[in-house]
Amino acid sequence: MNQLAPLLSRGDVIVDSGHSYYKDTMRRGELLKASGLDLLDQGTSGGVWGLEIGYCLMIGGSRAGFERLEPTFKTLAPPDGHSYTGPSGSGVWVRRMRESMARLTPRFSTNRAVREYTERYYLPAAEAYRERAVDKGAVGRQMVNWQHALEQKWTGLRFGEMKVETDGEHHVFEVQMYLDDLDPDAVKVEIYADGVNGAGSVRQEMARSRELVGAAVGYAYSARVSATRPVTDFTARVVPHRSGVAVPLEDARILWHR
């Protein structure tokens, strides 16, 4: 801009279509105005469609400069596709706002919220209801019996000893779990670590590896996890488990290894 201005005459108009930062454009507009020059900032949108139907133009600067070049803007833009937005800097500012709205609307619009709720929650819930209602609610009765068993036996669940070995790139955990005659398929034993540095939590299901001798429904559970985090980040826990049941929504019980 500093190199161009000395080559122009008073009354000339400069059009900046480079989407400069709007505050820089405001500053340049004031400097050029002192030399008798007009600066118009032209925000442009339209992408590849602009090649076929014309570009939408948002023009900031002096009203006189805009009116002088408006025939050119009309030629470039589709019908009703250009507008005067105000002082220098406003054209590129409006264009930035339009771009932000174009990017954010698909993520946060009401339509998307309703669609995601429907897809993630309503439709799965409706399907789960149909499955539970089959055969006069036989599956539903089995779920109720499962919950009753949890209520009766949960306080009797307890962890035993937990061992861990680090084998190269993995930690190998083994924990003893005593179920107090509860069906082992009614629960799931996991190794768990809280998320760090913005990453999600680690939840690794532990496999039932062997039955504990002399125990009333006692088993050893084991799992391998990445050794990229220290052993002290991890602990074992047991949560309710049954196919077709939304845990923790429908049953929030949880027992931690201490």
Pairing of strands 56-60, 82-86: parallel
Residue 50's pLDDT is: 61
- pLDDT tens per residue, range 26-72: 988 898 888 899 899 998 887 656 667 777 899 999 999 999 999 99
- Burial code (b: 16+ CB inside 10 Å, e: under 16) for 136-155 equals eeebbeebeebbeebeebbe
- For the chain, residues with pLDDT lower than 50 are none
Q: Are residues 66 and 187 in the same domain?
A: no
Q: Are residues 137 and 104 in the same domain?
A: no
CB 21 within 8 A of CB 41: no
Q: Are residues 132 and 215 in the same domain?
A: yes
Domain span at 227: 124-256
Model-level pTM?
A: 0.55
Helices (H), 2-86: 22-34, 50-53, 63-76
Q: Are residues 86 and 164 in the same domain?
A: no
